[in-house]
């Protein structure tokens, strides 16, 4: 089947088939209670941190802007709860360094209705106004890229877009939040696609959904407009189908050249969750204050797809879903590309689409597995979606020949999907070697 797909050119070459673990696929979205204290980081996005609009002691309404974008590549942030600004100070982030954050004490008696909104007549907006309206929602790339969506929607005019690729693959194992969005909120997704189409000069839109989610394809199909400008297509389930370049290849046959941006091929990718948020929030002029997160893993008693206010402390969330064991590992994102959080004091940010909780014992078992030298089995070469040679790259990394890796073996094309590391029978931390190599190259060139 896999070979057949490849020869029919229906998907990208190579890739891997890890066990799916989509245990939460059928669990409907549920709302998590509001935490007594919310921590809204000013930098949850690529680009400059937002600037606070509120002062300590000020009362804020749920949905009210509390920080404004600082420049074009930046986004505003909104109050996730009705409450009082308790402090504006440095706070721990998921990956270690502390960053400025607005701390809000929740009014527990409040109904927490969203009262703050500025409705738009979308069809009447010109391009600039529409991009500004997108910016005011505070939405960033929810697939994990966290690049401000309004900035991504401003494509240089010399590159006309003919295909809007809507990414509903959710190829990471365990994660099902995009799946639930497609099943439960297809109307928002279609509305979001309409807005993106309007901004991109009306390209055709194709929603690519991995064929392990037939119910999502069915739900979307019922909401497709009759004019045929939006289509949904089931694509082969294979990791990393949800990487932008891979989905473009699968749906259009185009390959994004190395070092080029996807839009230079006339294809443009947005994630389903991002567009669904735009579709839901923008017409009413609301801000992005809560998102759908899959919480799952061996260390969770009540896994599910939860609607979580941005800024909810991780510790509070883990108490709500019941984290088991006295030693755990918490991963923000999927098991392939997500990263382990450095501290349980960190809050949920806009980029977190999945929270995996593994028991410490399992993690220790994985960590204690023996590592061998490369036996050159070639499994990594057969798995790399970018057509690189991780085996040779890995050996060069051990010898610290970073420049050779970049010049001779296209290290720069690696987007760290982790496929090589997943398959390696010698248990070599290849992707970790590549991250270090890239970091060293950046340092050397600086």
Partner 1 sequence: MNSSIEILTGPHIKRTRSVEQIMRNVVGSLLPICVFFVVQYGVSALLSIVVVTLSCLATEKFFVRLGGQSGDLNDWSATITGLLLALTLPPGFPLWMGAVSGTVAIALGKAIFGGIGHNLFNPALVGRAFVQAAFPVAIATYTPSFLPGRFTDFIPSSLALPLMAPADTVAWLHSMSYDALAGATPLAKWKFEGTLAGVSELATSLGTHMAVGPSPLLIVACSAYLAVRGFLDWRIPAAVLGSAACVAFALYGWDPHRFPDPFFVLFSGGLVLGAIYMATDMATSPVTPRGMWIYGALIGVLTVAIRYAGGLPEGVMYAILIGNAMTPLIERITQPQAFGTSKKKEKK
**Residue 398 binds to partner 1 (criterion: CB under 8 A):** no
Nearer to partner 1, 61 or 256 (CB): 256
**Binding segment toward partner 1, per CB under 8 A, in 25-33, 153-161, 209-217, 329-337:** 329-337
Identify the residue among 318, 321, 348, 406 touching partner 1 (CB under 8 A): 318
Binding status of residue 9 toward partner 1 by CB under 8 A: yes
**Least distance (Å) from partner 1 to the CB of residue 213?**
20
Instruction: Give the Cα separation of 248 and 206 in Å (integer).
Output: 10
The conformation of residue 114, written as its DSSP 8-state character, comes to: -
CA–CA dist 13, 249 (Å, integer): 9
Q: Which two tokens stand for residue 135?
A: 């910016």
Listed in sequence order, the residues at least 6 apart from 64 whose beta carbon sits closer than 8 Å to its beta carbon are: 78, 79, 116, 287
- What CA–CA distance (Å, rounded) separates 54 from 260? 40
Please give the size of the binding site for partner 1, defined by CB under 8 A. Answer: 80
Question: What is the H or E stretch that residue 121 is in?
Answer: none
Q: Is 360 in the site for partner 1 (CB under 8 A)?
A: yes
378 binds partner 1 (CB under 8 A): yes
Q: Binding of partner 1 at residue 118 (CB under 8 A)?
A: no
Tell whether residue 18 is a contact of partner 1 (CB under 8 A). Answer: yes
Return the residue of 2, 129, 425, 439 that touches partner 1, per CB under 8 A.
425
> Is residue 426 a contact residue for partner 1 (CB under 8 A)?
yes
User: Could you tell me whether strands 77-78 and 304-309 are parallel, antiparallel, or unpaired per DSSP bridges?
Assistant: unpaired
Planar angle of CA 277, 419, 214, nearest 5 degrees:
45
> In whole angstroms, how close is the CB of 240 to partner 1 at the nearest point?
11
| Least spacing, CB of residue 222 vs partner 1, in Å | 24
Structure tokens at 202: 């009306």
Contact 370, 349 (CB under 8 A): no
Does residue number 260 form part of the binding site for partner 1 (CB under 8 A)? yes
Using the rule CB under 8 A, is 301 a contact of partner 1?
Answer: no
> Which tokens go with 43?
């930098």
The interface region with partner 1, picked from 144-152, 176-184, 219-227, 382-390 by CB under 8 A, is 382-390
Per-residue binding letters, 61-100, with partner 1 (x by CB under 8 A): ----------------------------------------
Which residue reads 């050996």 in tokens?
395
Element (H, E) at 48: none
For residue 386, state whether it binds partner 1 (rule: CB under 8 A). yes
Q: Give the pair of three-digit tokens for residue 399.
A: 């010898």
Segment contacting partner 1 (CB under 8 A): 124-132, 179-187, 268-276, 418-426? 418-426
When binding is defined by CB under 8 A, the residue of 329, 406, 411, 437 that contacts partner 1 is 329
Q: Which is nearer to partner 1, 18 or 99 (CB)?
A: 18
Looking at residues 234 to 253 of the shown chain, list those that interact with partner 1 (rule: CB under 8 A): 245, 249, 251-253
Pairing assessment for the beta strands 98-106 and 37-41 based on DSSP bridges: antiparallel
User: Residue 197 CB, nearest distance to partner 1 (Å)?
Assistant: 19
Contact between 239 and 247 under an 8 Å Cβ cutoff? The reply is no
Which is nearest to 250 in space by CA: 168, 143, 354? 168
Q: What is the dihedral of CA 19, 25, 31, 36, to 10 degrees?
A: -10
Give the one residue of 369, 443, 445, 446 binding partner 1; rule: CB under 8 A: 369
Closest approach of Cβ 307 to partner 1, in Å? 23
Residues 175-214 within binding reach of partner 1 (CB under 8 A)? none
Strands 65-68 and 98-106: unpaired
What is the Cα–Cα distance from 83 to 109, expressed in whole angstroms? 10
């Amino acid at each position: 089947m896999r070979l057949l797909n490849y020869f029919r050119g229906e998907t990208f070459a190579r890739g891997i088939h890890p066990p799916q673990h989509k245990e939460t696929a059928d669990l409907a979205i549920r709302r998590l209670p509001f935490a007594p204290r919310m921590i809204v980081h000013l930098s949850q996005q690529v680009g400059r941190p937002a600037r606070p609009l509120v002062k300590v002691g000020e009362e804020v309404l749920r949905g009210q802007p509390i920080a404004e974008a600082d420049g074009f590549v930046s986004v505003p942030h909104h109050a996730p709860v009705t409450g009082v600004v308790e402090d504006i100070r440095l706070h721990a982030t998921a990956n270690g360094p502390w960053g400025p954050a607005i701390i809000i004490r929740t009014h527990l008696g409040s109904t927490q209705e969203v009262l703050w909104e500025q409705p738009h007549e979308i069809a009447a907006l010109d391009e600039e106004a529409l991009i500004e309206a997108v910016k005011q929602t505070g939405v960033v790339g929810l697939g994990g890229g966290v690049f401000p969506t309004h900035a991504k929607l401003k494509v240089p005019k010399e590159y006309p877009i003919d295909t809007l690729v809507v990414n509903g693959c959710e190829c990471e194992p365990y994660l099902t939040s995009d799946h639930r969005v497609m099943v439960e909120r297809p109307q928002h997704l279609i509305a979001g696609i309409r807005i993106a189409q309007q901004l991109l000069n009306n390209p055709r839109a194709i929603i690519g959904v991995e064929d392990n989610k037939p119910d999502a394809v069915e739900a979307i199909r019922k909401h497709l407009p009759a004019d045929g400008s939006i289509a949904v297509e089931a694509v082969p389930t294979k990791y990393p189908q949800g990487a932008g370049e891979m989905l473009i290849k699968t749906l259009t046959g185009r390959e994004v050249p190395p070092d080029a941006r996807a839009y230079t091929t006339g294809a443009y990718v947005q994630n389903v969750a991002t567009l669904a948020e735009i579709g839901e929030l923008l017409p009413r002029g609301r801000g992005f204050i809560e998102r759908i997160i899959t919480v799952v893993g061996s260390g969770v008693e009540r896994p599910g797809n939860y609607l979580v206010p941005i800024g909810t402390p991780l510790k509070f969330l883990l108490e709500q879903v019941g984290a088991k064991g006295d030693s755990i590992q918490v991963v923000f994102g999927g098991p392939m590309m997500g990263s382990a959080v450095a501290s349980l004091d960190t809050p949920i940010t806009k980029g977190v689409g999945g929270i995996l909780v593994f028991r410490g014992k399992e993690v220790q078992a994985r960590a204690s597995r023996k590592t061998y030298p490369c036996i050159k089995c070639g499994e990594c070469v057969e798995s790399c979606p970018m057509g690189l040679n991780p085996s040779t790259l890995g050996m060069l990394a051990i010898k610290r020949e970073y420049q050779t890796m970049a010049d001779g073996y296209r290290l720069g094309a690696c987007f760290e999907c982790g496929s090589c590391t997943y398959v390696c029978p010698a248990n070599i931390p290849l992707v970790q070697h590549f991250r270090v190599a890239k970091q060293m190259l950046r340092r050397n060139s600086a």
